[in-house]
Amino acid sequence: VVDVRKLYANTGMFTYDPGFTSTASCDSGLTYIDGDAGILLHRGYPIDQLAEQSSFMEVSYLLLNGELPSKTELEDFTRTITLHTMVHEQLTTFYRGFRRDAHPMAIMCGVVGALSAFYHDSTDISDPEQRKIASHRLIAKMPTIAAMAYKYSAGQPFVYPRNDLSYTANFLRMTFSVPAEEYEPDPVVVDAMDKIFILHADHEQNASTSTVRLAGSSGANPFACIAAGIACLWGPAHGGANEAALNMLREIGTVDRIPEYIARAKNKDDPFRLMGFGHRVYKNYDPRATVMQKTAKDVLAKLGVSDPIFDVAKELEQIALNDPYFIEKKLYPNVDFYSGVILSAIGFPTEMFTVLFALARTVGWVAQWNEMISDPAQKIGRPRQLYTGPAERDYVPVSQR
């Protein structure tokens, strides 16, 4: 076995930090998290204030431009996004190449990556104006692409965007309207969906955002970078956790079965984890989960849905918060714990949950990518590794092996 210390003797300072738990890969003015205190700020504004008082369009503007917009700036920005919601008609043929039962995240990875084949002008990342247009295109087209992924899996015709609706109402309509019946979203549902989008808009250097930055650091075009982010987000330890959390709550089913699952989560020989619990940065209640729990209550009440899963979630949270294992490891509900309950009540199938996360996170990815490209000190991302293979040795011809 190689002597690692000798091997890297001439390398200078070398840090080994698997999972980057204590290494900042960049500086950024977008998002601040104090994980111990459970604080999340976007450009200085607390997430609960933004979720309660702002809109997803306004937060998108804030993340992209650094300041809250004036009334006219918000109207202009919203109009620009609205005008970019259509996708090229030829893009529909991409969907038809997928199996009907394809996971919509598989479709998202492919279709979003394919956008670079349609917008050659936006692939010139040296031009700030083109970067801005690419950002608007991505934010605007994501709801259309996501709704089309859903429609394709449901075997229903695609619904085209309607420019008189808000970003979020338009997305809900494209998802749930069928030729025989125009979907009229309840304002409470639009408001809840908008909140969910705000809560997922950005979260500093999480795995998918770091992926977008790393892909972008090589000069790759923005559509390819966002497709890379979508692929990373899909994993159950990241964006896939909302789907996994709801599946887990359904599997638990009733309050009396919770102790069995708590015991499994604590058992080191069992790979099972409480999905929607724990966070790399938050060692306190995720402030997004607080808003999410309240929103779940409002939506279920408004829609008259009595979902036993919500009772299971609340009880599970209470039991875990009082359990020494979870207290000691500082494991609290994260943003994904309650989001599935709301999305399910609105009518989304679980396979769409991570797609909705990707839709909302696109603005964060795009803002982070822009920030990185605009930085004159930007370099290609190139982490080192600690080599642990065999020491140097001579090649042996195959006849002598």
Which positions touch ligand ACO (CB under 6 A)? 237-239, 241, 265, 273-280, 329, 331, 334-336
User: Would you say 285 and 337 are in contact if contact means Cβ atoms under 8 Å apart?
Assistant: no
Q: How many CA atoms lie within 13 A of 142 on its CB side?
A: 28
End-to-end Cα, the chain, rounded Å: 20
Closest separation between CB of residue 334 and ligand ACO, Å? 4
348 and 356 Cβ atoms separated by less than 8 Å: yes
In the complex, least distance from residue 146 CB atom to ligand ACO, rounded to whole angstroms? 17
Is 136 considered catalytic here?
no
What sign does the CA torsion over 357, 216, 142, 287 have?
Answer: positive
Nearer to ligand ACO, 30 or 241 (CB): 241
Closest CA to 283 of 39, 38, 42: 38
Which CB, 236 or 381, lies closer to ligand ACO?
Answer: 236
Name the DSSP class of 41: E
Virtual CA dihedral for 165, 296, 205, 24, nearest 10 degrees? 140
Please check whether residue 199 is in contact with residue 291, taking contact to mean a CB–CB distance below 8 angstroms: yes
Pick from 123, 141, 33: nearest CA to 362: 141
Q: Which two tokens stand for residue 104?
A: 């919509």
Q: Which is nearer to ligand ACO, 159 or 313 (CB)?
A: 313
Question: Is residue 279 among the annotated active site residues?
Answer: yes
Q: Are 232 and 223 in contact (CB under 8 A)?
A: no
Catalytic residue among 286, 336, 375, 394: 336
Question: Torsion angle, CA of 385/390/393/394, rounded to 10 degrees?
Answer: -100
Q: To the nearest whole angstrom, how small is the minimum distance from the Cβ of residue 154 to ligand ACO?
A: 26
Q: Smallest distance, Å, CB 170 to ligand ACO? A: 25
**Residue 129 Cβ vs ligand ACO, minimum distance, rounded to whole Å:** 33
Cβ closer to ligand ACO: 345 or 358? 358
Closest residue to bound ligand ACO by CB: 278
On whether the CB atoms of residues 178 and 156 are closer than 8 A, the answer is yes
Whole-angstrom Cα distance, residue 356 to residue 303? 20
Smallest distance from the beta carbon of 329 to ligand ACO, in angstroms? 4
Q: Please, what is the minimum distance in Å from the beta carbon of residue 265 to ligand ACO?
A: 4
Of 78 and 206, CB closest to ligand ACO:
206
Beta-sheet strands, E only, within 197-237:
none
Cα angle 319-303-151, degrees, rounded to a multiple of 5: 100
Q: Give residues with Cβ within 8 angstroms of 318, minimum separation 6.
A: none
Q: List C-alpha distances in Å: 154 to 84, 157, 199, 341, 349.
A: 25, 9, 27, 21, 10
Between 64 and 201, name the residue whose CB sits nearer to ligand ACO.
201
Catalytic residue among 84, 238, 279, 286: 279
Interatomic CA distance for residues 250 and 272, integer angstroms: 15
Give dist(CA 29, CA 336) in Å, integer.
Answer: 25
Q: Which is nearer to ligand ACO, 182 or 270 (CB)?
A: 270
Residues forming a β-bridge with 243? none
Minimum separation from the CB atom of position 379 to ligand ACO (A): 27
The span from the CA of 165 to the CA of 353, in Å, is: 22
In terms of CB distance, is 329 or 384 closer to ligand ACO? 329
Catalytic residues: 279, 336
